[in-house]
Amino acid sequence: NAGVMQNPRHLVRRRGQEARLRCSPMKGHSHVYWYRQLPEEGLKFMVYLQKENIIDESGMPKERFSAEFPKEGPSILRIQQVVRGDSAAYFCASSPPTAGGLRETQYFGPGTRLLVL
């Protein structure tokens, strides 16, 4: 069973360009979480999605950032008009769709390191 996949692993963008980060959850998982890790800082929650639904986006910046998890295909975190402050590692995690709630562990992908020049 393949783990959580993220691509690209490294992404370089110039200021003003768009960044698209992809996350394929583990097989059978329908819950996806995105986190951002700034240099020397911990993980900050960004958004929680289920298939075709955004459940909680309280950690997402109000502008330029969006996320989706379509019925088919990976979850996408999109950053428009990137700025240098967006440089960070972005991690995706997934968990299965059971009633266990917090008993279900989040499984993390290897992350995408975004560098904005």
Partner 1 sequence: AQSVTQPDIHITVSEGASLELRCNYSYGATPYLFWYVQSPGQGLQLLLKYFSGDTLVQGIKGFEAEFKRSQSSFNLRKPSVHWSDAAEYFCAVGVKTSYDKVIFGPGTSLSVIP
Give residues in contact with partner 1 (CB under 8 A).
4, 6, 33, 35, 41-45, 48, 55-56, 91, 93, 101-103, 105-111
Between 44 and 78, CB nearer to partner 1 = 44
Max Cα separation, the chain?
44
Between 22 and 45, CB nearer to partner 1 = 45
CA distance 101 to 91: 20
Only one residue has tokens 């996320």, namely: 67
Q: Shortest Cβ distance from residue 101 to partner 1 (Å)?
A: 4
CA distance 52 to 31: 10
